[in-house]
Structure 1
Amino acid sequence: MKIVHQINQVKGMIREVRQKGGTIGFVPTMGYLHEGHLSLMRRAKVEQAVVVASIFVNPLQFGPKEDLAVYPRDLERDSVLAESADVDILFVPAVEEMYPQGVKRFLTVVDVAAITGVLCGAARPGHFRGVTTVVNKLFHIVEPDAAYFGQKDAQQVTVIKRMVEDLNMNISIVTVPTVREADGLALSSRNVFLNVAERRAALVLHQSLQAAVRLLAGGCRSAAAIRAAMTALIAAEPLASIDYIAVVDRDSLAEIAAISGPVLIALAVRIGKTRLIDNMVWEG
């Protein structure tokens, strides 16, 4: 595995791959890798000739009161894990490399309307504009045939798919199932912030989704009833504070009242000071 820090160096390596007729799979990350990230990399390796992964904690997608400064970072550890997943090129740019004029003087943004103002976007204004801008930039640098994202960040996947479709990008977006701990907690780099009691309390997210599945399997089709059951379960956990619980159309992310087809059930909950997200898709 080669670790590179400069955009021009990556572009040169991509040209060499193309000259040999190879396909490229891309896994963008913010680092502090876990099994969820590695599952994306391994999937890319099965399907593509060369796998490029990036590690970049993007300041554009963090709000002024969010955890940019303390977001976990460990490049040495991440490099070992990425190599274990057969990544060929690990792109680790500095902020100055991605935004040479400075973040505050960076003038070009990519903004996907409507679907970025709901769910996580409602609580984190500007977040998805930062995500789509940096992913667009990375797509132009790496020029992948396919890019791999986890289902845990369901809204992010929907937004990126819409960006790719609207801008006629010749990139396949591959969604890989959420990877969970044995007790059901969805893997997240932010889990490291949880203490022992909070880690135990965080199980309520998955438990509430399981409650929703049971209701659906029993014939319930009322979004309000499902939200109410999930809310009651989470509210019973003293360390949990609900940001949102939503039952929305899988593709448009519009809220629905009666479930008749594929839906996304998504939630964001603060456990202590840590904001966690989780979701499930009900195919109907």
Structure 2
Amino acid sequence: MKILRTITELRAELKQHTDAGSTVGFVPTMGAFHEGHTSLMRAARQQHDIVVVSLFVNPSQFPDRAVFDRYPRDERRDAAMAEAEGVDMLFAPLVEEIYPKGFATVVSVEGELADTLLKTKLSMDGQLTGMCTIIVKLLNIVQPTTVFFGEKDLPHWIAVERMAADLNLPAEIVVLPTVRECDGLAMSSRNVHLGEHRERAGCVPSALRAALDTASSGMRDPQLARDRALAELAVAHVEVDYVEILNARTLRVITDLSEPAVIAIGARVGGVPLLDIARTHPPATPTVA
């Protein structure tokens, strides 16, 4: 596996393969790899000739500088994990390579989708623009055949799907199921900060299951599902940021659980922000060995 630091190096390396007709699978990340990341790498490896993974902690996605500074970083470990999954190229640029002096262009999703993400707290002010800008930059740099996302990161892939449609981005977008720990907690780079609060974090997947059980029982009032989720979170005495039940396609607030929905939960456990989602009518997804 080659570790590449500059856009020029990466493009030169990729050109040798794409000129020969190779397809490229791409997994954009901020590092601190876990099974959720490696499942995306395996899917890319199965489907494409060349696999590229980016490792870049994007400062423009962190409104709070202290949170950016605390984000876990261990490039040596991440590189070893990526190599074990058969990744061909790890793109790990410095901030100055991505945002050179004089950088003055941003990309963002606006309108109803952006309003919904902000109103429901699925995205904080500033995060969406930072995420959209870096993803468009990375897609332009790598020019992949397919880009892979994890389902848990709903604001990312929802916004990227919108951008791809609006801006005619050629990459296919694949969203794979969330990978979970034994108690159902969604794997996340933030989990390393839970410490003594790790057991209480199990209330987040429990709340999701409670809401899903309500939806599958035939009850049609989304408030009942929301109340059950909130009750599970209350037992664990965690700080709730949001519990939202939204249309799976438009992200509008729904009034009837008979329509396909996304249940999204954000909570702070021991001060660590955790987020998770589930779909009431999960779509068919590719099988990953």
TM-score tier, shorter chain, comes to: over 0.9
Shift of 1:118: 3.1
Q: Deviations over 1:189-242 (max 9, x none)?
A: 00000012x11111001001111121122111111111111111101212x110
**Number of aligned pairs?**
279
Question: Are residue 168 (structure 1) and residue 168 (structure 2) matched?
Answer: yes
1:111 counterpart (108, 111, 132): 108
Shift of 1:181: 0.5
CA contact (8 A) 1:119 1:246 kept: no
* SS in structure 2 of the partner of residue 68 of structure 1: helix
Where do 5+ consecutive residues of structure 2 fail to align? 283-289
Instruction: Give the 5 Å matches for 1:124-163.
Output: 124-163=124-163
CA contact (8 A) 1:120 1:268 kept: no
Counterpart for residue 35 of structure 2: 35
Question: Are residue 223 (structure 1) and residue 222 (structure 2) matched?
Answer: yes
Instruction: Give the 5 Å matches for 1:201-280.
Output: 201-238=200-237, 240-280=238-278
- Once residues 16 and 52 of structure 1 are traced to their aligned partners in structure 2, the CA distance between those partners, rounded to angstroms, is 14
- Once residues 266 and 65 of structure 1 are traced to their aligned partners in structure 2, the CA distance between those partners, rounded to angstroms, is 25
CA contact (8 A) 2:212 2:225 kept: no
- Once residues 245 and 90 of structure 2 are traced to their aligned partners in structure 1, the CA distance between those partners, rounded to angstroms, is 37
- Once residues 223 and 65 of structure 1 are traced to their aligned partners in structure 2, the CA distance between those partners, rounded to angstroms, is 36
- Once residues 167 and 210 of structure 1 are traced to their aligned partners in structure 2, the CA distance between those partners, rounded to angstroms, is 36
- Superposed CA RMSD in Å reads 1.3
- Once residues 129 and 230 of structure 2 are traced to their aligned partners in structure 1, the CA distance between those partners, rounded to angstroms, is 29
Counterpart for residue 285 of structure 2: none
- Read off the aligned partner of 2:87 and give its amino acid letter: V
TM-score normalised per structure 2: 0.93
Instruction: Give the 5 Å matches for 1:55-204.
Output: 55-64=55-64, 67-101=67-101, 105-113=102-110, 114-119=112-117, 122=121, 124-196=124-196, 198-204=197-203
CA contact (8 A) 1:117 1:125 kept: no
- Read off the aligned partner of 1:235 and give its amino acid letter: A
Q: Deviations over 1:66-112 (max 9, x none)?
A: 510110000000000000111000000000110111xxx53111110
Shift of 1:119: 4.2
* Identical counterparts, % of pairs: 40
